[in-house]
Structure formats: C-alpha cells, structure tokens
A and B are shown apart, each in its own frame.
Chain A
Amino acid sequence: MNAWYAAAWDVEVKQELLPRTICNRQVVLYRRSDGEPVALEDACWHRLLPLSKGSLRNDEVTCGYHGLKFNSEGRCTFMPSQETINPSACVRTYPAVERHRFIWLWMGDPALADPSDIPDMHWNDHPEWAGDGKLIEVKCNYRLVVDNLMDLTHETFVHAGSIGDDNVAEAPFETTHGERSCTVTRWMMGIEPPPFWKAQLGKVSDYDGPVDRWQIIHFQAPCTVNIDVGVAVAGSGAESGDRSSGVNGYVLNTITPSTDQTCLYFWAFCRNYNLHDQANTIELREGVSTIFAQDEDILEAQQIAINRNPNREFYNLNIDAGALWARRITDRMVAEEQHSNHQAHEVQK
C-alpha cells in the first residue's frame, strides 16, 4: 500500500467524476479548475453512496443522494436541513500527483507520501522523446502482467511476425537485482531485424543489413517495468554505449492492482527519433496496442487457469528469473509494511 500507483492518464482526468478501483479501494478522481488532480474515497460519509454518482460543481462534489457537498480536501461544506456542519463529516483523500503524464495516488499512510518515490517514467513527457499509450483493463492479477514483461521470450511466440523471432527465444540473458529493482538484459548481435524494427530503422536510414538488437528490462518495485529496446547497425558499438546509428524505443509500463482478479495496465511507447512525426506516434501506439491485445488474451486465460487450479503451483524455468526477483522484492515490501503496521498496532494497545 505504501507506494505510488498510477490511477489514470492525464487526459482521463477532467472536470468530471471518474470512478476507479485501485488496490481494492473505490476512489473518485476529478480535476479542479486550477488543474490540480483530486482523489477522494468514492463513498459518501453519510450513507456510503458512491460520490461518483453525484455531480461536480465549483471543484466540489455533491452527493447524489442527499446533496452533501465535499471539497477537494474531503471536508464537507454543506449538509441539508441544518444550520451547522457536523464536525466529523469528511471523506478520505488520497495524495494525488501528476507526473510523467499519469495521475499517481498514494494508497497507504499519507504521512509517508513522498513524490520523489514516484517511479521514473520520464520518457513519457520529455523533449527528447515522443510517444503515446493507452490503458488496458485486464482481467488478471497485476503480478501476471509484471511476469509477462519481465521475460520477453514470449515475444517469439505470442508476437511472432512483428517483434518476435527465434533470436529472442534463443538468446541468453543476464539478470541483476537491487533492493527495489531488477534488470534483465538481452543483446542479440548481428541479426536480421524483425519486421517491426526493420520498419522503424527504415525511417531514419537506408541501411538494410544486420543489426545489433537490445532489450533491457528495468523493474521498479512494486509494479513499474520500463523496457529499453532498439536496434543499431551491427558492430557499430551499441553494446558499449554508441547507439547513434540506430533507433531507440522505451516501452513504459505501470500496472496498478485494481482487485485481486483485475488490474489497470498503463503503457506507452516512446521513441527518440522522428520526434515531430505525429503519424509515427499514432502508428506506433496503434501497433503496440494490437501487440498487447495478444498478451491480454494470454493473461486472461492464465488467470482463469489459476483460478481453476487452486492446488497447483508454477514450475519456474531459467527465463523466469526476472519475474521471480520482481515477486520477491514486492513480497518483501508487503512483509515490511505489515510488520511495521503490526508494531504500530502493538504500540497503540
């Protein structure tokens, strides 16, 4: 819980009430007239009707049942048929910060909410990068999407014909991990680029020969995975840092748990070439959207299988190393939080 979770794209939050389920909690999002995003618990203090069924006026939410009004700090500013306002009347607010084109909510103890802990997804909003993305509501637990992104071997099979080819499944990889992060790196040297990359490289150069291809997966706990991908002319020094002969993309992913069986998968594809080509942005966004629909199909089927087989566990292979580190790091964060909650509870007794 003590983490920032993406709740919406910047463009989704307007002067309108938007209900979302984040970490099993119902919240309602809106934007004030000064542009600041707000997140309130989506339940009236009075008799629990979702506030999202009410209306928004002058930056205040009016409950659709008895007309109680709440301001953006969650404090009630009007209640019917009495001259005073009950001093207890307020709804929970969640710290909300807009960064990297997402609205991030801190779902845990507000005293611990520090915006510098927001995952780094700067490519999504940066003068040297261009791109866009979408939100997919997937019917699976968020950890299955993280697993999917931590191992790209599946590209060869789920996404054959676009970004997948045999090179990915045959290439070895290296895994490293830190306290809250994990990195999985694959280099494929001197290969024929798959169709997607051939087309991208073709936008910046006439080069038609073999390439060096990289995939570097960066996991930031609890649920952000940024993947540095691209190709460059084979042998031109990409592996030692010179990517100038090639094209670089970043697939940005942050997967917010919604319920135990569903998640909000925010993704974007950003590039460092052809920055002013709007058509390129749209083509890439729609192309990646089609590719991710293939993943969605697999993930939802996997979740159904897991639900049907409560006694079964996964068999893990070498390719699952990144996913296992991500799970272990996240489990540890949960355990630490539960431990300190327990201690705090003990102190209160």
Chain B
Amino acid sequence: MRYRNNWTEAIVEGVSDAAEGIRELAIRPVAGAVPYGPGAHIDVQVLAGEAPEVRSYSLVGTYTAGAPYTIAVKQLPASRGGSRYMGTLQPGNRLRISQPVNHFELSTAKGSYLLLAAGIGITPLLGMAETLGQRADTEVSMFYLGRTPGEMPYRERLEGMLGERLTCHFSGSEGRPDLQRLLDEMPADTRLYLCGPLGLMNDVRAAWERSGMPNAHMRYETFGASGAFAPQPFRVHLPRFERTLEVSERQTLLQVLEEEGIDVISDCRKGECGLCQVEVLEYTGDIDHRDCFFSDAQKAENRKMCACVSRVANGELTIDTSYRKTASEAPCVSSEIKKN
C-alpha cells in the first residue's frame, strides 16, 4: 500500500560518523516520533541543485519510545547531491520529513531467515535482525558484505546481537563472496531479505533462481542510487522533437526531460514500475540499466530503458517518447459488408 506523504518539521539532534564515509543522523520530528516496523524508511526533502528533491533513508534499528529516528547516509563522491546535502547537516538544523513508510515489511512466518546486506544496505536490516532474534521458532543469520571493516557500520552491535550467526565478508581482502554456495547451504524454506548496490542484488537474484528457492521468499529494497558504471554526463538526442539535451552526472534522464518540457509519465521514480520507459533508437557506449522492472533479456536487447534511474556510460543516446502529434488511426477498415 502506498500512503500519501505527510510532510512534517524535524530537527537534527545529533550527527556522528558511523563508519568511514558514513554519516549517522539522529532526527527528531517536532511533533514526536511515531512507531514503525523493521524495514521502514522516511522520505526527506533535500536541496540537491536548485529545487528541493526527495530522498529515502531506511530507519536504523527498531522503534523505541522517546528516541529520535536514526538514519545513516553514505557520502557518495558521485552523488546527485542528496548525500552531499545530508552530509552538511548539523545539530539544530531543520528538515522536512515524511511519516515512516514501509515497503519492505518483515514476514510473520516462522522458520529460517537470511539477512544479506552490502555496505549501506545494512540500514534496513539492523532492525530486522533485532526483531527476528526475539521471535520464537525463528532462526536468523546475517551475511554482511563490505569492502573493509572500517567502512561497515554497526558491526559490533550486530556481533552482540547475532554472535556466530553473523558472517562478515571483506571483499577488499577476501575477494568476491561465493553467493551461490551461501544460498545452496540454506534450508529450503529460507526467507531472504536483501539490500545493497544494484550489481550485488542482480547477482543474488540470479543465484536465488539457480538455487530453486521460491521467488516469493526473496525480498529486497532499492532506492535506485547505484549502477554498473559511475554516473557520467551524457547527451540525449530526440529526433521527433528535433532536440538534443545534456544530462549531467547529478541529474537523471527523467528529470531533464521534465525540465525541458518533454512529456513523460512516471510513478515510483526508482526503477520499479516501468512507467517512465522510453524507446532507445540508437546508442553508443553502454546503457547502464539501473532499474529492476525490465528482465535481463529485455535489458540485453537495449530497446527500452527506464528514464528515472538508467543512464549511458561512455556514449550518447537517441530516444523516442510515446508522443505522437496526431492520434494514430486504426488501419483502414474494409468496407466490404459481411454477409450471412
């Protein structure tokens, strides 16, 4: 279910470094924090360019009465401006935030759970680990992936919570993890909750399918921030409109189309719904599909892409939208009258 956002005033209460390059913020709504479940996030209005935009941040840990909301923001050098803005905030600064929203709810089923986090993807899963650890007839284990220990927040807290059921994998020193083996060793009824960069999520999805576990048991959340390539500026040609547009590394194709008055519809703006898809007529370089709407086969065909998150690396793009000047007529209907 999707709720309309109620924007409310909040004050930054505390700022600290949760790990290298990761800023933790404690944010207290002026009207008071409201209860939320594990997997919830808040939307925050950020200044990332000229106009306010919205970013989503998972709430770290479970709700405690009287406590502010805690979020953790990774400082991205290739940021579109959201994390940079968040990184400048100091105690006392005011923000506009939404009520907690949850599209990543934990199942209530008993049995085996695997929480798989990579880097900043730990944020929604911490509260899940806490909650599952307190349930009867439930086993939870966590696989926490990161480059180096210093870049991975909340390790000690998780070790205290999960003990041996936590496995940390440091790709900087240990190389890539064997995801297939990890999944093949899990019980058949395992429910997987996954959060991390797009590349990892695609790899895990593929491994999950190969392991034969039901699709419905794998849940993940994406905020559309990551791709196979670092964001670059790219040029887009629209022959139907006789225009050429420039998309900077901080903008999305969808934003630029909208700002330039080219009509496109959209909905989720994070690569899930497919409504902002545009037709790819030609391209050079590589199309960096950052959505999870198109199938792998569709992405390989490169005939369509989601304008809200996907980009081009090392090349240029020529696209078409669904605009047609005159409503296309149906082919001429035969006026031959059908006889009995």
Contacts and interface: CB of A to CB of B under 8 A. Distances in A.
Interface of A: 128, 174-178, 181-183, 185, 203-204, 216, 218, 220, 228, 238-244, 247-248, 272-275, 277, 311-318, 320-321, 324-325, 328
Given A128-B335, A240-B331, A312 B1 contact: yes
Main secondary structure of the interface of B (DSSP, over half): loop
Contact of A243 (B3, B268, B273, B334): B334
Interface string B321-340: 01111111011111111111
Given A177-B324, A317-B273, A203 B3 contact: no
A176 B324 contact: yes
Contacts of A203: 338, 340
Interface in B288-340: 293, 322-328, 330-340
Given A176-B322, A176-B328, A272-B334, 12 more contacts: A128-B335, A177-B322, A216-B330, A243-B333, A272-B335, A273-B338, A274-B338, A312-B1, A313-B2, A313-B3, A314-B2, A328-B265
Contact of A324 (B6, B275, B277, B330): B275
B282 interface: no
Given A312-B3, A312-B4, A175 B334 contact: no
B2 A272 contact: no
Given A178-B326, A311-B4, A244 B265 contact: no
A308 to B, nearest CB: 12
A182 to B, nearest CB: 8
B330 to A, nearest CB: 5
4 nearest interchain CB pairs?
Answer: A273-B338, A241-B331, A181-B327, A316-B267
Contacts of A228: 330
Contacts of A241: 331-332
A274 B334 contact: no
A274 B340 contact: yes
Nearest to B279: A174
Nearest to A174: B322
Interface string B214-230: 00000000000000000
Nearest to A277: B340
B226 to A, nearest CB: 23
A317 B274 contact: yes
B263 interface: yes
Nearest to A237: B331
Given A177-B322, A313-B2, A324-B265, A243 B275 contact: no
- Which residue of B4, B267, B324, B332 has the most chain A CB atoms within 10 A of its CB atom? B267
Contacts of A174: 322
Interface in B102-132: none
B293 A318 contact: yes
A108 B274 CA distance: 37
B43 to A, nearest CB: 13
Nearest to A316: B267
Nearest to A320: B275
28 contacts: A128-B335, A176-B322, A177-B263, A177-B324, A178-B323, A178-B327, A181-B327, A218-B330, A220-B327, A228-B330, A241-B331, A243-B331, A243-B333, A243-B334, A272-B335, A272-B337, A273-B337, A275-B338, A315-B1, A315-B267, A315-B268, A318-B275, A320-B275, A321-B265, A321-B275, A324-B267, A324-B275, A325-B322
B267 A272 contact: no
Kindly name the residue among B293, B324, B327 whose own CB sees the greatest number of chain A CB atoms within 10 A: B327
Nearest to A238: B331
Contact of A183 (B2, B325, B327): B327
